[in-house]
Structure 1
Amino acid sequence: MFDNRYDVIVVGAGHAGVEAALASARLGKKTAIFTLYLDNIAMMSCNPSIGGPGKGHLIAELDILGAEIGKHTDKYNLQMKVLNETKGPAARVSRAQADKYLYRVKMKEILENQENLDIIQAEVIDIIVKEKKVVGVKTSIGIDYYSKAVVLATGTFLKGKIVIGDVEYSAGRQGENAANYLSESLLKYGIEIDRYQTATPPRVDKRTIDFSKLKKLYGNEKPNYFSIFTNKKEQSIMPTYLTFTTEETIKVTKELLKYSPIVSGIIETHGPRHCPSLDRKVLNFPDKYEHQIFLEQESIESNEIYVNGLTTAMPPFVQEKMLRTIKGLENAKIVRYGYAVEYDYIPAYQLKMNLENKILENLFLAGQINGTSGYEEAAAQGFLAGVNAVRKIDDKEPMIIDRTEGYIGVLIDDIIHKKTPEPYRVLPSRAEYRLTLRFDNAFIRLFDKAKEIGIIEKEKLSELENYINIIKKEIEKLKEIKITKKEINILLEKLGASERVTKGLTAYELLKLKEITYNSLKGFVDILELPKFVTNQIETIVKYSVFIEREKKQIEKFKKLENMKIPENFNYDNIKGISNIAKDGLNLVKPLSIGEASRISGVTGHDIALLIAHIKK
C-alpha cells in the first residue's frame, strides 16, 4: 500500500543527508530520504579522505554522539595516519584515505537495512508550505509527500553548473543531473540564495604512472581510530605517493592561463581558499614552482588515482600538458578531467542555532546548502539537523553544541554569525579553546549530550561513564601518593631521561615530567589495566593541567556572556552610538544572547558595551 506520510523527510543523500536520515530513523521517527540517483548515496565527489586538523575533531565528536561516518571510515579505508604526532595533544588528529567505492556501497547497505527509513529515488522540485510551516515536498514525477519536518541537504545540486575550460553545462556533479527547480521554490518564500563554486582535480589511470620516481607515504599500522568503539585487528597501510610541480609546470600553466575559466570570467563565484586550483596558485604565487602533489588511490576496486594538489577547471588539453611536466606523470592517462561546479546555497545567517530556517518553520538545512565545504562539515550539520528535527517534533529543547563544547559548535556558530567570502571549512585556528576541544577527549566532552540524544547504546554509554569516573578518581589518587627523590631519580635514569629532581614529588607532579607515562608509575602506584584512550586522558589532563585550567577560566567568561539574554524582538535601532554595520548584522541574525551578538561580523566591543548598557537600563 502506497504511503506518502512521514515524520521527517530528508532531501539529498550525500554525507549530510545520510547522517540526518539515520539520526531521525534511529530516534524512532518514520523517515524518508530522497536522492536523484540511488547508486550515488554517500558519494565522495572530491578527495576520498576523512579527517585531518579540525575535520578529524568533527568526526570524533560525531562518533560519540551517535553518527555513522567515523566507524564507517574506520572500516572502509586504504590507510589511516596520525598527524602532528610530535606536537601537543591539541594538534594531534587522525586522517584516513577512505575507500571511495566501498564507503559508498556499504553506506547504501546501512540505509537500506535501517528500520524506519525509506529510500526514494526522485527529484524534489518544491516544498509544501501551510501558514509558514513546511509540511512536505513535491517531486518531479507528480507525487507529493508529507511530513512534520523537512531537512534539505542538497549539496552542489541546486542549479548546479559544470565548467571545464569554456564548456558549461547543467549538472550537480559530472555525469549527474542538477536540481533546477527547488531554488525557485525557496526564493518565493523569501529565502535569500547566493552562489558558490568548488572544483576537483583530474583522475588518472594507475597503470600509466611511473611510481619508481615517487616517494611512498604509508599510514600507521596502529592508528588512533575515529571511533573509540572500533576494535580492528588489521589496518590497511596502502601508500600514497608524493611528487611536485616543476618550473615547466608553472611555465605551461602561465602560458595557457588565458584558457582558465577564472581568468576568462566564465567563473565569477568564489571557491574554497583552502583548496585553490593550480591556476589560482600560479596567479597568487607566480614565483613559486614547487607545489606538493599527492597521488591517492580511490579504491581497491579501481585503478583511478586522485591527483591531490592539481585541482583545475582548465580545458582538457591544458590538463594533459600540465600532467606531462610532473615527475612520474609524464605518461599518465587521464580517465576523468578536473572540473568546477557552481551551485546555489542559502547563506546561513537565515538559520537558528538548531539549523532550522528562521522564515519557514520545520525546515532544516544541512551541508553545502549552508555555504560549507567538506564531507565532515556536512555530516556534522546533517546529524544535528536530523536530531533537532526529531526534537522539534517531540516538543523537546533543541540540541545545541556551543563553541566551548566542540568543533561542531564552532562550525555552526561561525556559519551563522560570520561572513566568509568562500565555502566555509573548519580549521583549528577558528577554535578559541583548542586544548579543551582535543581529538582524543570528545567522549568526555560530549558524554552528557550523547546520553541526552539517545542514539548510542546504553551498554556503551555505561562503559564510557565508568571510564570517565576512573579517570577522575585516578587523577585524585595520584595527588595523594608521595614518591621520594631517590626513587624518582632511579626511575628517570632507567628511562634514559637527562633531568633529575632535587626533592620528592607526588605521583601527580611526577607524571607532569615529559618522560613519564601513566604506566611508568607502576611500582609506586597501583596501576589499573586500562585502554590506551583512557590512560591518554589521565596523562594529558595532568601534564597540561596549568593550560587546561587557564582555558577553563576563559570558558567561564564565555558562558557568562552566553547567559546574558537579549529580549525577543529587541529593537537595535533604539541604541544610540551603535554603528550602522553592527545594527545591520544584529537585525539580520537576531541573536539570543550577548555572547552570540559579539560574534556577528561587524559588531565591535564598543557596540557590545552599548548593547549591554541599554539592556540593563
Structure 2
Amino acid sequence: MNTDYDVIVVGAGHAGVEAALASARLGMKTALFTIFIDNIAMMSCNPSIGGPGKSHLVSELGMLGGEMARHIDSYNLQLKNLNHTKGLAARITRAQADKYWYRIKMREIIEKQENLEVVQGIVSDLILDGKKVTGVKDQVGIEYGAKAVILCTGTFLKGRFIIGDVKYEAGRQGEQSSEELSDRLREYGFEVDRYQTATPPRIDKRTINFSEIEELKGEENPRYFSYYTLKEENSVMPTWLTYTTPETIRVASELLKYSPIVTGIVSSKGPRHCPSLDRKVLRFPEKTDHQIFLEQESTESNEIYINGFTTAMPPFAQDAMLKTIKGLENAKIMRYGYAVEYDYIPANQLKLTLETKVLENLYTAGTINGTSGYEEAAVQGFMASVNAVRKIKGQSPVIIDRSEGYTGVLIDDIINKDTPEPYRVLPSRAEYRLTLRQDNVFLRLLDKAREIGILDKEKLEELENAKKEIEKELERLRNITVYPTKENNEILISLGHDTMNNPVSAFEFLARKEMTYDGLARFIETEKLSKIVKEQVEINSKYKIFIDREKNQIEKFKKLEEMIIPKDTDYEKIKGISNIAISGLVYSQPETIGQASRISGITHNDMTLLIAFIKEKNK
C-alpha cells in the first residue's frame, strides 16, 4: 500500500471535502481521511446552505474554484432570495439542501477526482521532524507521509454526545469520536479548548397537521450560488412555518430542571446566534411565539427538521414540548435532539494562510478553528488547501483581505479577534458591506480565481468579458444625453414616474429609482446585455455615490492594512505603549498594522505609537 502523499486532509466534512478537492485539482497527490466513509459531506444539523453572510461565502467559494456552490445549486429542495427590501447589501440566497443527494453525489465527485484517494480510519497522531509535520499515524499504527497536513476534524475531537443526563463518547450520534489526536496537539504546544453545539429533533412528516401551519415555497428562478449553474427553473418544494405557544413556554419552564444546560452536564459555550429552546426560555421567558420552521430533509425521506427547536433535553421533555406547538400536537419524533461537546484549537494560533504558528506544514480548517457552519468550514478548507499547495510549490500565498470578500473577514476575525462562542459570519462583521455583495463576487475575486488556477479558462474568459462589457456600457451611458422632451415626459407619466426638467446623462437617468436597464430602451438605444451585466450596470448607476464613498474608505484602509510590521520588532521598546498591547502583539505576532489593530485590548493610542515606531524604524 502506498502511504506517501503531497497533502493529507483529516476529516471529510465540508471543510475536508473542499480541501481535498482543491489540492487534487491543483495537481497534488492527496489523501482524504474519514472515520466513516459513508458520511462524507454529511449535514449533521440543518440541511441548509446560505443566509446572511453565508450566501456570500458560498458564492465566493464557487468563484474561486470550490465545489459547494455548484453542488447546492444542483441538490436542493428549494432556493429563496431574501432581504430584497432591506437594501442592496442585505440581499442573500438561502438553500434548503436535499441532505441525502448532497452527500451521495459529493462522495461520487470525491471518488472520481483524479489525484485523490479516500482512506477510512482515525488519525491519532502527527509525524514530526522537529517542528515540521511530515505525516500522520492512524489508530492501527499505519504511518502516512505528507508535505502538508490539513486538520478538518469537525466536532470529533473528544466529542461527547449529550441528551438529558446521558453523556457518552461520540462525534455525532451513532459515530465514534477521535480520542487521541487532541491530546497529541496539546503535547505539541497547542492551546486546546472546548465548545458545544446542538441539533433539534426530527419528526415524521406523515404525523404533521399541515392545515394548521403556513406553507412557504421556494422560487422557480432564484439567484444561484455558482456562475456555472444554468437552470431554467429550480425545485420549489415548500417548508412550513408555525410558532411556539404560551403552553410551550410553560411546559419548557417546568421541565428546564432536566436541561443539561441547567444541570451542568453541558458546561461549554454554544453558538449564540443559534440558541437552543432551553436557552430561549431562560433568557426571554416573556416571549412565547418563537418561529418554528419545518424543513424536509430529502425527497428520499419523510424526516422533517424542526428549525428553531434545538434542544438536548431528555426525550420525554422533547415529546411534551413538541405537542404544545400548533400543527405538531400528534407529531412523532424519529430522532431526538441532542448536543455535542468537542475540542477545538483557538484560531489565534494560525497565520492568515491557516498554517499553524506552532507546527510548520500543519493547517487547520473549519470547526476545529472554533467556527460554526458548513459555509464557514468550506471556505476555510479551500483556502487552507490552496495555501498548503502553494507553499509546497514554492509560490506566494493567496490572502483575501477584508475589503475583498467575506472569506477575508472570516479568516481575519477568527485569528485576530476574541471569539467567546463558535464563530458565525454575519454582515455586521464586514466593514464594507456595500462592496462585498453577493451579486458582484465575480468582479471582486476574478484576479484571485485566476491566480489560484482551479476555475477553468473558459469560465474565467466569460467573466472577464462580462467585466469589460460592464465598463464599456457604463462609459457609453455617460456619453449619451436624455433630454426633457415632451415625448420623454409623456412616457414617464404613462409609467407613473416623475417628469424631468433638465437634460441628464443616460447613466444619471438610469439612477432614477423606478428605472431599469430594459426600461431605458423607451428613451435611448440600448445594448443586448447578459443578465449579470445588466444588473451591474443598474447597480453602478443607482448606488454610485455610496459605492464611491466606500471605495475611498477601502483605499484608506488598505494603506493601513498593508503596512508591514518588521519581524524583528521589539514591542517593549515602543515608549508609551500599554502592557496589554505588548502582550497581545508578542503573542499574536501580527504581520501588518491592519492585523494588529484588531487584536483585543489594543487602543487607538497604542496603534498611533506602533505606526510611528515602524515609520521611524523604516527610515
TM-score greater than 0.5 by the shorter chain: yes
- Residues 368 and 378, structure 1, Cα contact 8 Å, conserved in 2: yes
Q: Which residue of 2 aligns with 1:603?
A: 602
Q: Which residue of 1 aligns with 2:493?
A: 493
Q: Which residue of 1 aligns with 2:422?
A: 423
1:83-130 CA-partner distances (Å, limit 9, x unpaired): 012232211111000000000000000000000000110100001010
Please give the secondary structure, in 2, of the residue aligned with 1:485: coil
What are the residue-to-residue correspondences of 1:294-313 with 2, within 5 Å? Answer: 294-313=293-312
Amino acid at match of 1:610: L
Q: Which residue of 1 aligns with 2:106?
A: 107
Please give the secondary structure, in 1, of the residue aligned with 2:86: coil
State how far apart, in whole Å, the 2-side matches of 1:177 and 1:501 are. 70
Q: Which residue of 2 aligns with 1:127?
A: 126
Q: Which residue of 1 aligns with 2:86?
A: 87
The change in CA–CA distance for 1:521 and 1:112 in structure 2 (over 3 A counts) is same
Q: Which residue of 1 aligns with 2:456?
A: 457
Amino acid at match of 1:392: K
Amino acid at match of 1:496: G
Deviation, structure 1 residue 501 = 1.5
- Residues 80 and 222, structure 2, Cα contact 8 Å, conserved in 1: yes
Amino acid at match of 1:605: H
Amino acid at match of 2:494: K
Q: Which residue of 2 aligns with 1:20?
A: 19
Amino acid at match of 1:3: N
> Is there any run of 5+ residues in structure 2 with no aligned partner, and where?
none
State how far apart, in whole Å, the 1-side matches of 2:522 and 2:332 are. 62
State how far apart, in whole Å, the 1-side matches of 2:528 and 2:270 are. 50
- Residues 203 and 337, structure 1, Cα contact 8 Å, conserved in 2: yes
What are the residue-to-residue correspondences of 1:56-67 with 2, within 5 Å? Answer: 56-67=55-66
The change in CA–CA distance for 1:159 and 1:476 in structure 2 (over 3 A counts) is same
State how far apart, in whole Å, the 2-side matches of 1:540 and 1:614 are. 43
Please give the secondary structure, in 2, of the residue aligned with 1:356: coil
State how far apart, in whole Å, the 1-side matches of 2:218 and 2:85 are. 16
Q: Which residue of 1 aligns with 2:321?
A: 322
State how far apart, in whole Å, the 2-side matches of 1:99 and 1:569 are. 52
- Residues 155 and 172, structure 2, Cα contact 8 Å, conserved in 1: yes
The change in CA–CA distance for 1:45 and 1:479 in structure 2 (over 3 A counts) is same
1:125-169 CA-partner distances (Å, limit 9, x unpaired): 001010211010001122110010000000000000011011000
Amino acid at match of 1:491: I
Q: After the TM superposition, which of the residue ranges 443-452 and 185-194 deviates more from structure 2?
A: 185-194
What are the residue-to-residue correspondences of 1:516-595 with 2, within 5 Å? Answer: 516-595=515-594
- Residues 316 and 337, structure 1, Cα contact 8 Å, conserved in 2: yes
Q: Which residue of 1 aligns with 2:31?
A: 32
Q: Which residue of 2 aligns with 1:255?
A: 254
Deviation, structure 1 residue 589 = 1.0
Amino acid at match of 1:452: E
State how far apart, in whole Å, the 2-side matches of 1:74 and 1:543 are. 29
Q: Which residue of 2 aligns with 1:479?
A: 478
State how far apart, in whole Å, the 2-side matches of 1:140 and 1:265 are. 32
1:368-396 CA-partner distances (Å, limit 9, x unpaired): 00000000000010010111110010011
Q: Which residue of 2 aligns with 1:186?
A: 185
Deviation, structure 1 residue 495 = 2.4
Aligned residues: 615
Q: Which residue of 1 aligns with 2:441?
A: 442
Q: After the TM superposition, which of the residue ranges 129-138 and 526-535 deviates more from structure 2?
A: 526-535
Please give the secondary structure, in 1, of the residue aligned with 2:265: coil
Identity among equivalent pairs (%): 66
Deviation, structure 1 residue 185 = 1.2
State how far apart, in whole Å, the 2-side matches of 1:485 and 1:500 are. 8
Deviation, structure 1 residue 243 = 0.4
State how far apart, in whole Å, the 1-side matches of 2:491 and 2:158 are. 66
1:268-288 CA-partner distances (Å, limit 9, x unpaired): 110000000001001110111
Please give the secondary structure, in 1, of the residue aligned with 2:493: helix
Q: Which residue of 2 aligns with 1:275?
A: 274
Please give the secondary structure, in 2, of the residue aligned with 1:243: strand
- Residues 10 and 149, structure 2, Cα contact 8 Å, conserved in 1: yes
Q: Which residue of 2 aligns with 1:42?
A: 41
Deviation, structure 1 residue 574 = 2.1
Amino acid at match of 2:394: D
State how far apart, in whole Å, the 1-side matches of 2:92 and 2:551 are. 22
Amino acid at match of 2:372: S
Q: Which residue of 1 aligns with 2:371?
A: 372
- Residues 195 and 343, structure 2, Cα contact 8 Å, conserved in 1: yes
Deviation, structure 1 residue 265 = 0.9
1:553-610 CA-partner distances (Å, limit 9, x unpaired): 1101110112221110322222232222222221121111111111111111111011
Please give the secondary structure, in 1, of the residue aligned with 2:552: helix
The TM-score, its normalising length taken from structure 1, stands at: 0.99
**1:341 matched to 2:340:** yes
- Residues 158 and 345, structure 1, Cα contact 8 Å, conserved in 2: yes
- Residues 488 and 523, structure 2, Cα contact 8 Å, conserved in 1: no
State how far apart, in whole Å, the 1-side matches of 2:273 and 2:281 are. 15
Q: Which residue of 1 aligns with 2:381?
A: 382
Q: Which residue of 2 aligns with 1:203?
A: 202
Aligned-residue RMSD, C-alpha: 0.9
State how far apart, in whole Å, the 1-side matches of 2:105 and 2:281 are. 40
- Residues 495 and 515, structure 1, Cα contact 8 Å, conserved in 2: no
Amino acid at match of 1:475: L
The change in CA–CA distance for 1:212 and 1:523 in structure 2 (over 3 A counts) is closer
> Is there any run of 5+ residues in structure 1 with no aligned partner, and where?
none
Q: Which residue of 1 aligns with 2:402?
A: 403
State how far apart, in whole Å, the 2-side matches of 1:301 and 1:367 are. 28
- Residues 203 and 307, structure 1, Cα contact 8 Å, conserved in 2: yes
State how far apart, in whole Å, the 1-side matches of 2:316 and 2:258 are. 10
- Residues 488 and 504, structure 1, Cα contact 8 Å, conserved in 2: no
Please give the secondary structure, in 2, of the residue aligned with 1:439: coil
Q: After the TM superposition, which of the residue ranges 82-91 and 470-479 deviates more from structure 2?
A: 82-91
Please give the secondary structure, in 1, of the residue aligned with 2:440: helix
What are the residue-to-residue correspondences of 1:507-518 with 2, within 5 Å? Answer: 507-518=506-517
Deviation, structure 1 residue 527 = 2.2
The change in CA–CA distance for 1:542 and 1:185 in structure 2 (over 3 A counts) is same
State how far apart, in whole Å, the 1-side matches of 2:488 and 2:601 are. 55
Q: Which residue of 1 aligns with 2:283?
A: 284
1:291-333 CA-partner distances (Å, limit 9, x unpaired): 0000000000000000000001111100000001000111111
1:155-198 CA-partner distances (Å, limit 9, x unpaired): 00000001101100000001100000100111111011000000
Q: After the TM superposition, which of the residue ranges 569-578 and 378-387 deviates more from structure 2?
A: 569-578
State how far apart, in whole Å, the 1-side matches of 2:570 and 2:338 are. 47
The TM-score, its normalising length taken from structure 2, stands at: 0.98
State how far apart, in whole Å, the 2-side matches of 1:13 and 1:56 are. 21
- Residues 76 and 97, structure 2, Cα contact 8 Å, conserved in 1: yes
Deviation, structure 1 residue 403 = 0.3
State how far apart, in whole Å, the 2-side matches of 1:172 and 1:291 are. 29
State how far apart, in whole Å, the 2-side matches of 1:457 and 1:344 are. 38
Deviation, structure 1 residue 524 = 4.1
State how far apart, in whole Å, the 2-side matches of 1:45 and 1:115 are. 27
